[in-house]
Amino acid sequence: MNSTPSQFPSTLNRTHDPAATSWVASAQAAGTDFPIQHLPFAVFRHRDSQEGFRGGIAIGDQVLDLWDLTRSDLLDGLALQAAEAGAKSSLNALMALGPKAWSALRHAVFDLLHSHASAVVQQKMLLCLEPQAEVVYSLPARIGDYTDFYTSIYHATNVGKLFRPDNPLMPNYTWVPIGYHGRASSVQVSGHSFKRPRGQVLPPGATEPVFSACKRLDWELELGAFIGPCNALGEPVALDQAEDRVFGLCLLNDWSARDIQAWEYQPLGPFLAKNFATTISPWIVTMEALAPFRTPLERPDGKTDDLAYLRSEANTEQGAIDIRLNIGLATEAMREAGQLPHVVCTTSYRHAYWTLAQMVAHHTVNGCNLQSGDLLGTGTLSGPTLDQAGALLELTQGGKVPVSLPNGETRTFLADGDEVVMRGWCERPGSARRIGFGECRATILPALI
C-alpha cells in the first residue's frame, strides 16, 4: 500500500480565518449555517422552472450557481476546471478531480465572495446568486454504491443489550469496522416523503411469520461520506491517504423497520428492514471546511492496538471530528399547531469508535474499488449517555419507555404523519465560524393497503 506523506489531517489556511467576512450580508447573520468559511456544495434548480439541475455553493441564504460562474470571466486554471465539473447535473465529475481541484475552487470562490472583492467583482457575482428559499435540490451525486458502517460503540452496546444482555458487544467489534452494503436506489434528498414499509414479521409468541406493515419504524442519526477519486480494483487505500478520497460529508437518516429487521437479519444482516428509504441532506460539507474541528480519537476502552493498516499517529491525534448532531420529531398534530420539531437527541461524531479514514482504509484493504459518488454511512452516532442515543430503539429501550413530546403525545416508534428532522453543525468559540450542515428532513406516509 502507498505510504507516501499526505495532507491528513487537513491544515488550516486563510479560508478558515474567523475574522473573514463576505459582502453577502446574510453570511454574517447570527446562527447562519453558511458563512464564507464554509462554502458547501449541492445540486439545485429554481423552484418554479423546468431548467436542468446544476451544482451550487452555499453562501449565507444564497446559492452560487456554478453554471453561471463558469460563464463569467472570474475564474481560470484549475479553479475554472473544477467549476465546470461542478456545474453539471451531478457532482460526480467534480468529486473525481481530487483535493487540489476542490481546494482551488474553494479558495477562488472565497476570494470572490470576500468583503475585499472589488465592486466590479461583486456586481458580476450578484448575477450568479439565487436565494435558497427559491430553489429545490436533487441528489448531489449519482450514487453507484452505498455502504453503511457501525462506528459507534455506544450504539452497538445499547442495541446489543436489548438482544444479548449477557454479551452485548460482539468480540470482533473493537477490531474491525463493521459494515454492510445498502441500497443506493432508494437514497433520497431531504424534503421527501415515503410510505411505511411492509414485510415479514414474527409477532411476539408466534412460531410463524405474518406479512404486515412495519409497526416499529425507527430513524438512525448518521453522517454520510461521498467518495471522490476512485481507487483501482486491487489497490487498497492507505489510512493516511484515505481522506484524500473523501469529497465531503452530509447528514444521513438510515430508516429502519425494527420488527422486520428482527426476523430477517440472521444470518446475513439487514435487507428489507433497510432498503426502503435513506434520506440525506442536500449540502455536502468539504473536508477542508471541517479542518478547524479536528479532535483526537478517544475510545472509552482506551484501545490503541488496531491492526497496522488501521493505525497511524495522524489518525490517533486528529482523526476524529467534533460535528454536533441532533434529531427532532414533529408529529402531524404538532405541525398543525405550529410547533417546531422537538429535539430528542443531541450528540457528536467525535464519539465514534472508528474514524472516517479507517472506514475508507478498511473498505478498500481487500482491493475493493470505490467509485466517485459512492456513499458511505457512519452508522448510528450514539454518544455515551442515553440522551445522546441516535435511534428510538435505544431511547425507548426497545419500545418499553416512551419518549414524551411537548403536546402530551408519546412515541415508542414512529407513527404515520411524523416528520423527522436532523441537523448538524461544528462550533468552536473563538477559533472558527460555525459550520452548518443544513437539515435532513422526511415525513412518513401510511403503508400501501
In a 10 Å sphere around its CB, with 0-12 CB exposed, 13-18 middle and 19+ buried, how is residue 418 labelled?
buried
Of 16, 38, 114, 155, which one is the catalytic site residue? 155
Q: Which run of H or E residues covers position 161?
A: helix 153-163
Residue where the block lists cell 445540486:
43
Tally of CA atoms within 13 A in the half-sphere of 74 that contains its CB: 27
CA distance 239 to 310: 6
Cα–Cα distance for residue pair 177/310, rounded to 1 Å: 9
Peptide bond between residue 406 and the one before it cis (omega within 30 degrees of 0): no
**Any catalytic annotation for residue 116?**
no
Place of cell 440472521: 266
23 Cβ contact partners less than 8 Å away, ≥ 6 residues apart = 113, 114, 115, 117, 122
Cα dihedral 205, 210, 214, 218 sign: positive
Q: How far is CA 387 from the centre of its chain?
A: 21
Task: Report helix angle 119-126 to 99-113, nearest 10.
Answer: 110
Please list the active-site residues: 155
